[in-house]
Amino acid sequence: MSNAIESRLAELGITLPVAAAPAANYVPFVVSGNMVFVSGQVSQDANGLVKGKLGDDMEIEAGAAAAKLCAIGLLAQAKAACGGDLSKLKRVVKLNGFVNSTGDFTDQPKVVNGASDFLVEVLGDAGRHARSAVSAAALPFGVAVEIEAIFEIA
């Protein structure tokens, strides 16, 4: 399956980054049995952090793109947790999405869809998952989105 996942990522023009190191006193993931719990991945790309507040200085489409970046980071961490072998990844179990948004912004699910849609695009049915999409008054470093995940592995 690793070849299938890696091939699909290549088809989409996506190269997984090196899994990000933690920014504080925590580990990037914990493997417990056949589950991998990945710490929150913030919206960032090769140019740095993607910052913004939905409902203020960022539109839904840009927020969804930021959420997709979080999902790319989640896959990078899952790959690291699997010893570099994505064939061990069985499915995405759950995402918890946090959207930096104003008090009156109510489209958090549309923002987090950027991550959900990407994971299904890459993994097919194995990418379908349970999910929460909630507002946050602020996120670390002013990022637009932070998402944590639970994966099942072989």
* pLDDT tops 50 at residue 1: no
- Give residue 53's identity as a one-letter amino acid code: K
What domains appear along the chain, each with residue ranges and CATH number? 2-153 (3.30.1330.40)
Query: Strand (E) positions, the chain?
Result: 29-32, 35-42, 44-45, 48-49, 89-100, 130-136, 145-153
pTM (2 decimals)? 0.96
For the stretch 76-115, pLDDT in tens is: 999 999 999 999 999 999 999 999 999 999 999 999 999 9
For the stretch 9-62, pLDDT in tens is: 999 999 999 999 998 999 999 999 999 999 999 999 999 999 999 999 999 999
Instruction: Tokens for 26, please give them.
Output: 């925590």
